[in-house]
Every structure is written in structure tokens, then in C-alpha cells.
Amino acid sequence: MNIFSGLDKIVETNHSLADHTWYGLGGPADYFIRPQSIEQLKEVVQRCNENKIRIYVMGFGSNLLISDQGLRAAVIKLDSEQFEQTQFDGEQVTTWAGAELSKLVLTCVQKGLSGIEALIGIPGSIGGAVKMNAGGNFGDIGAAVETVTLMDSQGNVFEKSKPELMFDYRRTNITAKFILNARLKLAAGDPEQIMRTVKEIWIYKKNTQPLNTKNSGCIFKNPRGVSAGALIDRAGLKGLQIGGGAVSEKHANFIIAEKGCKSRDVIRLIDAIKQRVKEQFDIELEPEIEIWS
């Protein structure tokens, strides 16, 4: 019997995942599933549980590395119309997991809403951004999030709000499998002034990050009080190459996938960087990138 009978329209088998990540790397998933509604998502979760199939939830794949062997699992992507909505109500914005963060930033600027302009240039979905508290030198999304709607691995839907909802550097206390949507509290501002801020941040990023390459953003979290990129640079690792993977000459906390690169090349580079930084500075670098295997 087909595990997902009746859901054939939203399920693909042995589906290549490389095209769904910014790195363009990785093998196939046993199942690739795009639910069209919360009810369908619940049904998919139930079938996976009944058949003991591991579940991964994919956003825009901008901070993700998938093993060359692929995944013996179901990968669920919330990118249907239901999950890409955004609703504006004065200074409150409800935005769903599959909405694009960079588009939301620009829409808020146009509407004269301030609070997330610091996130310009960060690729990804709202779900992924909230889950890892995406941000940079200029701020993070957690500062604006008031409430999230979640679904656990049993299909139960519930809300979590501040102060119960906590955001820290590149992490949250959200343990639920799925983020369905988030409600943001923004502030009214002058669109022209907000746009000036956006442009300044964008120019800074363009000048300091290898934006026109195949990469997945910062590979490591910054240890407390120090830049991971500076540590990697001081360890003399800029330009280090393994296979088709190379440490960026522009920003040492980026690993670029060049022609012929495999996921294993990036993983070996990550291990080499961690080892060298540990040896030289006695600091344990923690990956910011998610690695699925």
C-alpha cells in the first residue's frame, strides 16, 4: 500500500534536494512533500508517524547543507499559497512560514513600518528566520516577534507568546517541529528614512560579503565577544580549498561552493576550520549552518 495514498499530488519520491538549497548540493530525499493547507500538513505528519518516517522541514535552504547521500526521510516544504500569506493590521504583521523574508522587509519599508529593516540581505523564509533568530550586526528578527503559531510532531497546533517565547543569539526556545506563522510588532516610521537605513546596510553587506557566489551565509556562530570570521582569518585560513569548496577571500566565515563541489568538501572544510581555530585560540566554533544527513 502507498504510504501517502490520496496525497499523490503533493508527494514526490526520490526527489533531488540540491535545487532547493543555495549551495545547490546534496542527494535526494525519499519523499518531498508540499502540503497545501494545515489540514494536509497534519495528515502528512500522521502518516509519517505511523510509518516511522523521519521528518525534516525545509525553508529556502539558504542556511542548509544536505549530505551527498541524501535523506532516508520526508522533507516537508511549506511553500503553498496558504503558507506564503502576509496580513497587515496597523503596526502588527502576521506572516506565514513560507513567506520570503527579504520581500517582507521591502514591503514593510514601503508601508512605513520599522523594526525589521536590519534583516535586509538575509535570504530565507520567515519560518527559518524565526527558528534560528536570523539577524546580523544590525539586529535580529526576534526583537520584532510577539507570537508564533506552531505545530508539534503529533499535529497539535498551538501559540507561544513573549515572554514565554525567548530569542537568543541565533537560537530560540521553540522546540515544535513546525512554525506556521509569526506575528510581528513593528513601529510607524518615515518610509524614506527607513529606506536610507536599508540601503546603508545593503551597501555594507555588499562590500564585506561574497554575495555573488554559491554560499550559505555565515558558516559559524560568533563566539561571545569575538567574530568567527576574524578568528578564521587570523588562523590563516582564507582561501583554504578542499575539493570544490573554498574559504572566501572576502569574508572568512563564508565557504564558497565552486565547480565540482560536493557536500563532503564543505563538511571537511568545516572540520578543518574548527580544528585549526581550536588549536590556535582554544575556541570551539559552533556551526550556524544546518547539516542534514
Task: List the CATH number of the domain containing 111.
Answer: 3.30.465.10
Determine phi and psi for 103, rounding to 5 degrees: -65, -40
Quick one: DSSP state of residue 165? S
pLDDT for the residue numbered 32: 98
User: How does residue 136 score in pLDDT terms, banded at 50, 70 and 90?
Assistant: confident
User: How does residue 172 score in pLDDT terms, banded at 50, 70 and 90?
Assistant: very high
* Nine cell digits for residue 147: 507570537
Confidence check: pLDDT of 241 > 60: yes
User: How does residue 137 score in pLDDT terms, banded at 50, 70 and 90?
Assistant: confident
Is there a single domain that holds both residue 100 and residue 188? yes
Q: Judge whether 271 lies within some domain.
A: yes
User: Do the beta carbons of residue 83 and residue 40 sit within 8 Å?
Assistant: no
In angstroms, rounded to a whole number, what is the distance separating the alpha carbons of residues 109 and 186? Answer: 11
Q: Judge whether 1 lies within some domain.
A: no
Domain count, the chain: 3
Q: How far is CA 10 from CA 31, 46, 156, in A?
A: 10, 15, 21
pLDDT for the residue numbered 26: 98
Quick one: DSSP state of residue 7? -
Is there a single domain that holds both residue 91 and residue 107? yes
User: Do the beta carbons of residue 258 and residue 208 sit within 8 Å?
Assistant: no
Is there a single domain that holds both residue 156 and residue 179? yes
In angstroms, rounded to a whole number, what is the distance separating the alpha carbons of residues 263 and 68? Answer: 6
In angstroms, rounded to a whole number, what is the distance separating the alpha carbons of residues 285 and 219? Answer: 10
User: How does residue 14 score in pLDDT terms, banded at 50, 70 and 90?
Assistant: very high
Q: Judge whether 147 lies within some domain.
A: yes
Domain that holds residue 56: 8-77
DSSP code string of 47-98: HHHHTT--EEEESSSTTEEE-TT-EEEEEEE--SGGGG-EEEETTEEEEETT
Q: How many CA atoms lie within 13 A of 114 on its CB side?
A: 12
pLDDT for the residue numbered 2: 87
Q: How far is CA 200 from CA 33, 194, 195, 208, 250, in A?
A: 39, 10, 9, 13, 19
What is the residue whose three cell numbers read 526527489?
15
pLDDT for the residue numbered 130: 98
Q: Judge whether 177 lies within some domain.
A: yes
Is there a single domain that holds both residue 91 and residue 185? yes
User: How does residue 243 score in pLDDT terms, banded at 50, 70 and 90?
Assistant: very high
CATH code of the domain in which 272 resides? 3.90.78.10
Is there a single domain that holds both residue 274 and residue 215? yes
CATH code of the domain in which 23 resides? 3.30.43.10
Query: Rounded mean pLDDT of 138-144?
Result: 95
pLDDT for the residue numbered 179: 98
Among 77, 103, 128, the domain-final residue is 77
Is there a single domain that holds both residue 139 and residue 225? no
Query: Rounded mean pLDDT of 51-72?
Result: 97
Query: Rounded mean pLDDT of 194-199?
Result: 95
Q: Judge whether 186 lies within some domain.
A: yes
Is there a single domain that holds both residue 102 and residue 46? no
pLDDT for the residue numbered 147: 98
In angstroms, rounded to a whole number, what is the distance separating the alpha carbons of residues 274 and 270? Answer: 6
| Percentage with pLDDT > 90 across the chain | 97
In angstroms, rounded to a whole number, what is the distance separating the alpha carbons of residues 118 and 140? Answer: 7
pLDDT for the residue numbered 22: 95
Q: Judge whether 227 lies within some domain.
A: yes
Among 77, 101, 119, the domain-final residue is 77
Confidence check: pLDDT of 238 > 70: yes
Burial bucket for residue 176 (CB in 10 Å: 0-12, 13-18, 19+): middle
Confidence check: pLDDT of 200 > 80: yes
* Nine cell digits for residue 81: 499559497
Is there a single domain that holds both residue 181 and residue 145? yes
Q: Judge whether 158 lies within some domain.
A: yes
Is there a single domain that holds both residue 46 and residue 61? yes
Determine phi and psi for 22, rounding to 5 degrees: -70, -30
Among 175, 206, 237, the domain-final residue is 206
Q: Judge whether 2 lies within some domain.
A: no
Using a cut of 0.85, tell me whether the model's pTM lies above it. Answer: yes
pLDDT for the residue numbered 1: 55
Confidence check: pLDDT of 142 > 80: yes
Is there a single domain that holds both residue 181 and residue 157? yes
Is there a single domain that holds both residue 223 and residue 188? no
| Percentage with pLDDT > 70 across the chain | 100
Is there a single domain that holds both residue 88 and residue 171? yes
